Structure 1
């Protein structure tokens, strides 16, 4: 016997089992983290569409929505990555506990590049700052102090300049729409 939860989705009440509820919340939070903060209307539209799909899939209002129904709905709506990239500072709750690890997309491994935007000399400090999610000015000051006080030589900077590849150019098209 499973516990059930009543949720208000798109201004309609639905009864979901606890696992389905957790998965749906995780899915909506992931989508919410990819939309601009002022896009509350879009998330409301997504909830209304989920309610429509649930109404079509269940035959009786007394029937409980299972995790299989939620997964089928998520498949129909698309992956959260279809809604864009995560906003900076958006909380990453990680995958839901009840999702299959094979279905959960793995984050792309981070790669170290010399920065094209945050560049004073060669972009080494800007690239290190982007990799470690730090302020480029602090990395530059740290590098300067290390060079001045003997912990690092200029040769190390030149070697990093040669070894670290430059950040790839971003593709740009006038036909691309912002999501």
Structure 2
């Protein structure tokens, strides 16, 4: 019987076999060195660590089975390594007709008017959120309130896409290190652009006169 250790990954405690622990630690060190010690790098690494915890939680199940070397190898293959990124960057886009990853339905916190239900449906069906909202309004008007009831049910039943993993799944993208990094960097750039536009706005200029 292999010796097992107890570790903490993103706030979750796991039991792990010794050889699996060594492989996982080596992988985590590679990721930490790749993303660096600045705030952006730490945020990306924290999201990757959270995804690792999710994967191992799903695998270990209710019996809290110890993490094996095979699991770690599968994890690395699924998430990828920094060495793979340059190779993947040169690959062509998927050909037309190829299957993409199945999207999951979440409420979209980035497209929220009331609860993000319409934004989530828009992401799931690849439609404009405005069109979905218009459909919901028309259903509410012409179904004697049944449309509102459906909306409220979806609000209660459908989870909000809070984590990076959930937001990638909502868009039908693979939850890999490369995609997690790209998603977070895109978010940071979007915030910076919004801030630049705000500084250039007349309202901001007047406030500093």
TM class by smaller structure: 0.3 to 0.5
Greater radius of gyration (CA): 1
Query: TM-score under structure 1 normalisation?
Result: 0.44
Query: TM-score under structure 2 normalisation?
Result: 0.38
Name the one with the larger helix percent: 2
